Amino acid sequence: MWLSFVPVSVEHKDSHAHDSSHSHEEEHGHGDIEPVVVKMLSPNQELAAEMKKSGVDCEALAPGSHPLEHKPYYSHVFAMTPRLVTNKGLIEIRGRNIDFVQVLQRS
């Protein structure tokens, strides 16, 4: 399930961080609520982040931004090659023999 909803960073804003006066909290009226910010990452962004941690120079590309994403993903020479797949994004690799990494999801 981590690929669909990946909580990358959770930020807690503590309303009691500053020793503010009681009147300041009353002005805003949300003194006890701690907002939680959850960033969602697509599978290629998550994979690119893992690659960067391992020292690979790479960058996740925006979905649909490269011509490779609009071409067939298989030559269908091999048997049992799937017909229905979903493109989940490209990662550009620099400084290696590999040029791109593409993530596909089976449909």
Partner 1 sequence: MPNLDPNPLPYGALQYYQVHYIVQIESEENQNLLAKCEPITKGHFSNKRVVDVKWTGADKFAEVLQEDGKLTEMLKEVMLQVGEIKIDPQDDHIRIYAKWGHEENFHFNETMLEIADRIAMHIKNKLKPTAKS
**Footprint of partner 1 on this chain (CB under 8 A)?**
1-3, 43, 47, 50-51, 54, 56, 68, 71-75, 77-78, 85-86, 88, 96-107
Pick 41 or 104: Cβ nearer partner 1: 104
Of the two residues 34 and 99, which places its CB atom closer to partner 1 in the complex? 99
Helix (H, G, I), strand (E, B) or coil at 40: coil
CB of 30 to partner 1, least distance (A): 24
Cβ proximity of 44 and 88 under 8 Å: yes
The distance from CA 33 to its chain's CA centroid, rounded to whole angstroms, is 27
Q: How far is CA 104 from the centre of its chain?
A: 14
Write down the least CB distance from residue 22 to partner 1, Å: 35
**What phi, psi does 93 have (nearest 5°)?**
-105, 135
